[in-house]
């Protein structure tokens, strides 16, 4: 797997949704050839990681069975792992999906529940020495946007992440394999999301890589009025701010466009540090 040199530049995680109900309307469903082709295109456009998800996590999304998630993701991972050299991430909260993905060429587990919903997923990740993305979520995709409330959103997210990180390390996950994600849009209002982005540098106190996912999300639509597939410019602004405030990985749909944003934002922010 690629040896990430966090701090030297920002890495791009390209999103490959293999679902019929992706919030952004880009879900590729039951078409392995097309999914592989799109992923290869993202790598050509500058993606450093491909993140494959077989269950929509948009607000209100209905859960899918383990069998269905396996059917959607594993054939793609199996084929794609033989055709690209960048790491493949599996976006799942299910241990059996993670196990099969890692067996077939994935090397990162991106779990929106912070490895908390399935007690066996930590052991699976540990067994493969996989990197893990520990994300903060308040509630579940079905309930998370039902009036989320915080006293101090950034402080409360940090406190929860601290618990998740410590639990993961106690269970055998190596600290160098942990990436954290404050979970933009997962149990947060517009104001919460803006505060997280504005105060993102505070998450650097964990001394762990920070992943941020703002791409096409509803807070951009609330600010601009743009529909999900027309939010590239709003996404670009949020990505640039995230990089300036310490993001190590940005998770995006539009890799080609965001590659330019990342290159320029990196040059500006890292030049300013010298």
- The Cβ of residue 127 has, within 10 Å, a number of other Cβ atoms equal to 11
What is the SS3 assignment for 115? coil
Strand partners, 111: 134
CA distances from 101 to 35, 181, 198, 213, 228 (A): 16, 21, 35, 22, 28
Between strands 49-53 and 88-91, the pairing is parallel
Q: What whole-number distance in Å separates Cα of residue 28 and Cα of residue 19?
A: 6
Say which of 160, 199, 217, 259 is annotated catalytic.
Answer: 217
Say which of 99, 138, 199, 251 is annotated catalytic.
Answer: 251
Cβ contacts of residue 152 below 8 Å, gap of 6+? Answer: none
Q: Is 251 marked active-site?
A: yes
CB 239 within 8 A of CB 26: no
Q: What whole-number distance in Å separates Cα of residue 253 and Cα of residue 235?
A: 10
Q: What whole-number distance in Å separates Cα of residue 121 and Cα of residue 127?
A: 10
Q: Is 199 marked active-site?
A: no
CB 235 within 8 A of CB 254: yes
Q: Which residues are catalytic?
A: 217, 251
């Amino acid at each position: 797997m690629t040896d990430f040199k966090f701090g030297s530049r920002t890495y791009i995680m390209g999103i490959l949704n293999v679902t019929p109900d992706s919030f952004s309307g880009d879900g590729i469903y039951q078409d392995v050839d097309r999914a592989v082709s799109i992923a290869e295109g993202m790598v050509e456009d500058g993606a450093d990681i491909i993140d494959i998800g077989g269950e929509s996590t948009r607000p209100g999304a209905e859960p899918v069975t383990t069998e269905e998630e396996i059917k959607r993701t594993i054939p793609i991972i199996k084929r794609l792992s033989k055709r690209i050299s960048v790491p493949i991430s599996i976006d799942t909260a299910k241990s059996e999906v993670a196990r099969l993905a890692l067996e077939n060429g994935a090397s990162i587990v991106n779990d929106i529940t912070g490895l908390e919903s399935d007690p066996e997923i930590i052991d699976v990740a540990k067994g493969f020495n996989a990197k893990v993305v520990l994300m903060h979520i308040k509630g579940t995709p079905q309930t998370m946007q039902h009036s989320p409330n915080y006293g101090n959103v950034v402080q409360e997210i940090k406190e929860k992440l601290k618990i998740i990180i410590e639990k993961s390390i106690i269970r055998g996950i190596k600290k160098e394999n942990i990436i954290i994600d404050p979970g933009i849009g997962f149990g947060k209002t517009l104001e919460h999301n803006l505060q997280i982005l504005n105060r993102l540098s505070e998450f650097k106190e964990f001394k762990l890589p920070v992943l941020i996912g703002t791409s096409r999300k509803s807070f951009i639509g609330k600010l601009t009025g743009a529909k999900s597939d027309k939010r590239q410019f709003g996404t670009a602004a949020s990505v640039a701010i995230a990089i300036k405030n310490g993001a190590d990985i940005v998770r995006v749909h539009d890799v080609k466009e965001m590659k330019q944003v990342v290159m320029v934002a990196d040059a500006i922010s890292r030049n300013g540090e010298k």
